[in-house]
Structure 1
Amino acid sequence: MSSIFDILAEQRIADALKRGEFDYLPGAGRPLVFEDEPFQSPEQRMANRILKNAGFVPQEVLLRREIASLRKALASDDGADEAEKAHLRRRLGMLVVTLGSLLRR
């Protein structure tokens, strides 16, 4: 159940919208960009920013990208022979197992 403060806040926002007070704000019509995780400590945010600026990508992301690439290659009919497709399927299986073990840690 909403408190009286929630109801009053919603009413004031609705009134401001009707008056057009939000029409010409900077960035209007564009999505908000949140670069930081709000539930991380400042130290963790700083470490993540340093790693991101250095081009570091977590192993999980690399594995997921390669898995997606292999699935796309297997789904396309580019004339690859059966031996090559079998190799791609083995590689895909190995990556899926690796990703699963990484996520279980």
Structure 2
Amino acid sequence: MDFSFLSNYYIPLVVAACLVIGCCIKQIDVIPNKFIPTILAAIGAVVAVWDAQALSATIVISGALSGLIATGLYEAFTQYLKKVEIVFDDETDDVRDDIEIKESDVSEEEK
């Protein structure tokens, strides 16, 4: 399925704003994680309407989609950081040599 049409509907300003707001919500730990995508979609819609200074279905949907994109970016980044485990030695700031990278952890592009 071709998702290239979605590139017409995301707003970088809204993605950045929702990414920051989502990180803050995640750190506060008052709101359960399952509600964060819904909250960011709503905030994205509001920020998009504020940014465009107009109200239409396309603007609201674009803002909501941008809020959800911010959620996905945050999750993708945190999963990437969990997968890449580079541990530095505190005393020498060198990469520790006792960490093994399995063949299955390296993609074809990195070989």
Pair in the same fold by TM > 0.5: no
Query: TM-score with structure 1 length normalisation?
Result: 0.29
Query: TM-score with structure 2 length normalisation?
Result: 0.28
